[in-house]
Each structure stands twice: as structure tokens, then as C-alpha cells.
Amino acid sequence: MGILNVTPDSFSDGGLFIAPDLALGRAQAMVDEGADIIDVGGESTRPGAAAVSVQEELDRIIPVIEAISAALNVPISVDTSKPEVMRAAVSAGAGFINDINGLRTDQALETVAQLGVPVCLMHMQGQPHSMQQAPRYDDVVEEVYMFLAKRQQAAITAGVDPGHIILDPGFGFGKSLDHNRQLLRGLSRFTALGAPLMVGLSRKSMIGKVLDAEVDQRLYGGLALLVMAVQNGVSLLRVHDVKASRDVIRMVEWASA
């Protein structure tokens, strides 16, 4: 899954892709590099980021989703927690919901059940504006596991097709460096939930902290973590650098076959 940020403040690609034609070019490049899904996000979910209004999020992402949908034959994911945005995005051509809030927003469960599209349910402790202030767990793997099991069950109860549910432990979302490490080591445990697993590790601050590297110098560190993720049962990878990630995963698959 290639990341397409359409937030003016997203520091990893500098808000360069807001104009629909520029966003389309970036999406095309990621498809050429082997992306199977393009994840379009208009709500900055960086630690400390401010909330975005529904209208602002719609203005950012709908023209981009329409442009990609008209020009490219690639599934489009929408990175949002808001039911209104989910509906508009699916009408505009998105076929996948990526919700960092795990469908905990009011009406989100019902909306996704009605839309009938696949959904990624992610774990997050706290809210984006404050989640990195004091992350706290007794057993992070066990607590994230129980959270995902409960959200998976809530989605099924609301009428979401069980085969449409993907689960994600949410690296960096209300987690210390050590929590992220424990989750990486414990990833295989989540396969017992019976759903495909997704992770987002690309350019995240855990890599920056370990390597003392700025955001544009985190590629190789992230690739190392991707290898670990794949070896522990993860099948969907949310990444900025599609070509590099593809090559690494193809080699791991070749060697493991």
C-alpha cells in the first residue's frame, strides 16, 4: 500500500501533492513501482497534529480520489475516521477504508457495514494530539491483541463481512520506543485473530530514534523492520517507498519459498 498524503502539513512529503494532477502523478509513480493499493489521507495523524474539519478533509481528498479513480486501475484506500468522509470517498471511487481509530467514531461501524467495503482496524492508545505524552501498558502485546479482538467482534456484530476485516497494531500510535519493539517481536501472536495483518512502519520515529536519523534518512531502517513484519505473518505494508519495499519483500519471499 503506497502512502499518498494530501495534508499541507505532512512533513514526510511536505504537502506537495494537494493539487489533484500532482497527486495523480505521485499515485501513478507508486503504481509503476508496484503498489497494489493507494492510501489517500487528508487528516494529519502525526503525533501532536490538530484535528481537521469534515469539509476540509473532503476538499483535500475527494478531487484526488476522483482523479485517481478516473485515470488508474488501482484500488484506492481512504485514510479517515469520519463516517461522512468514508461515504463520500467510496462514492468518489475508494474501495477500502483505513481507520486509525478502529471504527470507534460514532456511526463508523454502521457506515462501513452499509458501504460493504474492506476495512483496516488499527489500534491507538489516546488521541493523536496527546497520544505520545505518556503511553502506558502492563503488557502491550496482550492489550493491543484484546483491543483488536474486540474491534473485530464489534465490526462483525455491526454487519461487516468478517472477510473484509484487516487488523493493525498501530506502530507509533500511543506507544513508546520500547512498546513498538515489543509489538514487533510479538507480531506473530496477532495471526491468531484470523484476519490479514497490516503494519505502517515507513519513516516512523522509532527508526529516527534508534538510528538518530531525520525522516528522509529512515528508508533502510524501515526496510529491516518490514522483513521482520513479513516473517512474522504481516501481509499488508503501508509504505512511502514502494520500489524499495517491493524489492525487499520479493527477495524475502524468494528465499523463504
Taking CB under 6 A as the rule, which mask of x and - marks residues 161-200 in contact with ligand 8Y4? -------x-xx--------------------------x-x
Q: Provide the sign of the torsion angle of the four alpha carbons 24, 67, 86, 198, taken in this order.
A: negative
> Rounded to an integer, what distance in angstroms lies between the CA atom of residue 234 and that of residue 230?
5
Q: How far is the CB of 255 from ligand 8Y4 (least distance, A)?
A: 26
Number of residues forming the site for ligand 8Y4 (CB under 6 A): 19
- Cβ contacts of 170 within 8 Å, gap of 6 or more: 100, 122, 123, 124, 144, 200
Q: Point out which span in 49-57, 85-93, 185-193, 203-211 binds ligand 8Y4 (CB under 6 A).
A: 203-211
Tell which residue, 40, 49, 114, 111, has the closest CA to residue 80: 40
Q: Point out which span in 109-117, 142-150, 179-187, 202-210 binds ligand 8Y4 (CB under 6 A).
A: 202-210
Residues 6-65 that bind ligand 8Y4 (CB under 6 A): 12, 41, 45-46
Report the residue from 78, 141, 204, 226 that binds ligand 8Y4 according to the rule CB under 6 A: 204
- Amino acid identity at 177: L
Q: How far is CA 153 from CA 68, 107, 147, 179, 255, in A?
A: 33, 16, 10, 25, 36
Q: How far is CA 186 from CA 90, 178, 232, in A?
A: 34, 12, 8
Whether 89 contacts 78, CB under 8 Å: yes
Report the residue from 80, 81, 98, 101 that binds ligand 8Y4 according to the rule CB under 6 A: 98
Nearest residue (CB) to ligand 8Y4, 71 versus 228:
228
Report the residue from 6, 20, 238, 249 that binds ligand 8Y4 according to the rule CB under 6 A: 238
Residue 222, C-alpha cell as written in the block:
524501515
Provide DSSP, 192-238. GG-S-BEEE-TT-HHHHHHHT--GGG-HHHHHHHHHHHHHTT--EEE
- Amino acid identity at 88: A
222 binds ligand 8Y4 (CB under 6 A): no
Residues 71-90 that bind ligand 8Y4 (CB under 6 A): 79
- Exposure string over 40-64, b if 16+ CB within 10 A, otherwise e: bbbbbbbbeeeebeeeebbebbbbb
Report the residue from 18, 122, 141, 187 that binds ligand 8Y4 according to the rule CB under 6 A: 122
Residue nearest to ligand 8Y4 (CB): 200
Positions annotated as catalytic residues are 204, 238
Q: How far is the CB of 91 from ligand 8Y4 (least distance, A)?
A: 21
Nearest residue (CB) to ligand 8Y4, 113 versus 206:
206
Nearest residue (CB) to ligand 8Y4, 88 versus 183:
183
Q: Which residues bind ligand 8Y4 (CB under 6 A)?
A: 12, 41, 45-46, 79, 98, 100, 120, 122, 168, 170-171, 198, 200, 203-205, 215, 238
